[in-house]
Amino acid sequence: MENNKQYFNIKEVSNILNLKEHVIRHWDSIDPKTKRLRIDGLSMRTKGGTRYFNKNHINKLSIIKNILFEEGKHNYSLDLVKKILSSKKMEKQFIDDSNTADKHKVIKKNNNNAKLKNIIQNLKILIS
């Protein structure tokens, strides 16, 4: 990621996260059943509908990717992602990530990813 760039287009984010553009668009689109965004706060849009992403949006997308594509498996539950992202701890992490040094971000992100994997494993056990 370029350090001096504030906003990225969907193609750049796709390359950064190694995700297909249509997957990002799906996560950032309106669910026809509920008429609401599938996951809030994934991008900013211009009046013409062009999506732009800042570093916090990219961090959030990265966390979603880690949850949904855990260990090569594909989990299809965006509802689970919404619950995890809406928790107060995750909100605090996004604020902390934007205010701390890059080295601390990586360490904290790795710890949080490990915690999230543990939560997901526990939820899978409860479901089955």
Q: Residue 109 is part of a domain; what is its CATH number? A: 1.10.1660.10
CA atoms lying within 13 Å on the CB side of residue 94: 20
pLDDT at residue 83, as a whole number: 66
Residue 14 has pLDDT above 70, yes or no: yes
Residue 58 pLDDT class (50, 70, 90 cuts): very high
Residue 11 pLDDT class (50, 70, 90 cuts): very high
Residue 3 inside a domain? The answer is no
Residue 95 pLDDT class (50, 70, 90 cuts): low
Residue 94 pLDDT class (50, 70, 90 cuts): low
Q: What are the E-state strand segments in the chain? A: 8-9, 30-31, 36-37, 44-45, 51-53
Separation of alpha carbons 22 and 126, rounded Å: 32
Residue 1 inside a domain? The answer is no
Domain of residue 36, residue span: 8-127
Q: Which residue has the higher pLDDT, 122 or 21?
A: 21
- Could you tell me which of 31, 28, 121 has the C-alpha nearest to residue 70? 121
Number of domains the chain is built from: 1
pLDDT at residue 21, as a whole number: 92
Cβ neighbourhood burial of 22 (10 Å; 0-12, 13-18, 19+): exposed
Residue 98 pLDDT class (50, 70, 90 cuts): low
Q: Which residue has the higher pLDDT, 71 or 117?
A: 117
User: Average model confidence (pLDDT) for the chain?
Assistant: 76
pLDDT at residue 54, as a whole number: 92
